[in-house]
Amino acid sequence: MRNLTMLMDYYELTMSNGYFEKGFKDKMVVFDMFYRKNPDNGGFVVSAGLEQLIEYIENMHFSKEDIEFLRGKGEFSEGFLQYLADFKFTGNIDALPEGTICYPNTPIVTVTAPVIEAQLIETMLLLTMNFQSLIATKASRICRTAAESGAVVMEFGARRAHGGDAAILGARAAYIGGAAATATVMADERFGVPAIGTMAHSWIQFFDNEYEAFKAYAEVYPDNCTLLIDTYDILNSGLVNAIRVAKEVLEPAGKRLKGVRIDSGDLAYFSKKIRKTLDAHDMKDCKIVVSNSVDEFLMQSLKKQNASIDSYGVGERMITSKSDPVFGGVYKLAAVQNDAGEFVPKIKISENVEKITNPGRKKLWRIYSRETGYALADLITMYDEEVNGDEPFAYVDPVKPWKKMKFENVDVKELQVPIFRDGKLVYDKPELDAIKAYVTEQLDHQIWEEEQRFTNPHIHYVDLSKKLYQIKEEMLAQGQGENH
């Protein structure tokens, strides 16, 4: 396994050296990782990347070469360098289980650890959770749209991804978000995401003619034969030769042509023409697969045009989340432990209201309707508060703080679960298929359809306990925080 410990921003090292030199290396702090805005103006995010964060934390160590490199920078004390040479994460991490549907300004990962340890993991934590959450969320949008017309989605994005890790982990995240398979072999080898694929145009071009190319492929793969029919002429050549091979090669052997694929042209027009022709040749079971810069918006248009498409190969627009390619997850200090062992809340104050943080050591709860089972809201409380759905719990809607609100006769679930305790992994990592099923279960039975629409989705309520709201208001009034 690669050692990614040095994948960090330089300021994490300068601050950590400063904490060490000032005698704060054992000072306990709390950091929250959260995000402020849903990608694509959507209604929610599918959290992903926790497994890779766990692997990073478990493998985190500074090599002799790392220490020598840092020594050569001339900015770090020998005491601090020895601290890094002996480094091991010893703190606590709590997080949403991977695949949890989540919302802006709610903690996805919470780190409680000595300040240097909490600081040094910032960059890797963010890039791991940000990237996979972004791609899983985009994939969810695309796959839900495809499902509306009965189609499935395959992830085809490796050659357009921003590097090798993005291709592999993007395929993993896309699978969590709903993709049925990937074209990336290593994603299958490492994570069990089913890898599929048939041919490129070069296969057809290699042979003397299209028919010979199709015939050769069908002879090698009679049980799983899908033919790419747009190399020369979709209707007058590709489709004709595909049907000929089905009738002359496959059917005499008791096999069926599994599908035809097009990667260019007017997808709606050609899919309808292809379907009509296949049906006329007693090939209603032959699937039509399309690709070529597809996303949820094009899928919606194709559905309106009554396109006849059974599955989509989606590449660059999913693996890069092209329509909204940046996930704005942040990592902010929430509390510092004092000499009495109490965690003193800290707040980030800004002229931009959305950048003001929720201070203190906190818990995140989801509130469910007992009547429907659907989530009514998320609730953030102070860490020492408990919520019982059988008893009234007064809360504050931060958008309408003047209203007197309370939850009662509801089901309540604390969302974050322990991942590390005193540096030891205490979380049983679920299988990837279980994570994917968890996403589906939430979207089908717990998340309102109004939150899942693409245009003006319902804004999920994120409420604060009265205690947390009061602490936040007092700190804002006192100006205790970074005022910029």
Mean pLDDT of the chain: 97
Q: Hey, CA dihedral for 410, 133, 353, 342, is it positive or negative? A: positive
Burial letters for 249-283: b for 16+ Cβ neighbours within 10 Å, e otherwise? bbeeeebebbbbbbbeeebbebbbebbebbeeeeb
Place of tokens 């290593």: 186
Domain 198-285 has CATH 1.20.1290.10: no
This model's pTM is above 0.85:
yes
pLDDT at 484: 35
Average pLDDT over residues 128-156: 98
Average pLDDT over residues 9-13: 98
The amino acid present at 322, given as its one-letter code, is: K
Per the CB < 8 A criterion, the answer to whether 16 and 80 are in contact is yes
Q: Which CATH architecture is the domain 10-135+325-483 placed in?
A: Alpha-Beta Barrel (3.20)
pLDDT exceeds cutoff 70 at 481: no
Place of tokens 């600081």: 119
In angstroms, rounded to a whole number, what is the distance separating the alpha carbons of residues 167 and 170? 5
pLDDT exceeds cutoff 70 at 483: no
Per the CB < 8 A criterion, the answer to whether 146 and 153 are in contact is yes
pLDDT at 18: 98
429: helix, strand or coil? coil
Average pLDDT over residues 130-145: 98
What 8-state DSSP symbol labels residue 188? H
pLDDT at 174: 98
Task: Give the DSSP letter string of 375-410.
Answer: EEEEEEEETT----TTS-EEEE-TTSTTS-EEE-SE
pLDDT at 440: 98
What percent of the chain stands above pLDDT 70? 99
Domain spans in the chain, listed from the N-terminal domain onward: 10-135+325-483, 198-285
Element (H, E) at 222: none
In angstroms, rounded to a whole number, what is the distance separating the alpha carbons of residues 189 and 249? 33
pLDDT at 480: 56
pLDDT at 227: 98
What is the per-residue pLDDT across 91-115, written as a single tens digit (0 to 9) for each? 999 999 999 999 999 999 999 999 9
In angstroms, rounded to a whole number, what is the distance separating the alpha carbons of residues 218 and 469? 66
Average pLDDT over residues 178-206: 98
Average pLDDT over residues 398-416: 96
287-290, strands of its sheet edge to edge:
181-182, 152-155, 311-314, 287-290, 259-262, 226-228
464: helix, strand or coil? strand
What is the per-residue pLDDT across 171-181, written as a single tens digit (0 to 9) for each? 999 999 999 99
What is the per-residue pLDDT across 363-397, written as a single tens digit (0 to 9) for each? 999 999 999 999 999 999 999 999 999 999 999 99
In angstroms, rounded to a whole number, what is the distance separating the alpha carbons of residues 136 and 129? 10
What is the per-residue pLDDT across 305-329, written as a single tens digit (0 to 9) for each? 999 999 999 999 999 999 999 999 9
pLDDT at 392: 96
pLDDT exceeds cutoff 90 at 479: no
Task: Give the DSSP letter string of 97-124.
Answer: PTT-EE-TTS-SEEEEEEHHHHHHTHHH
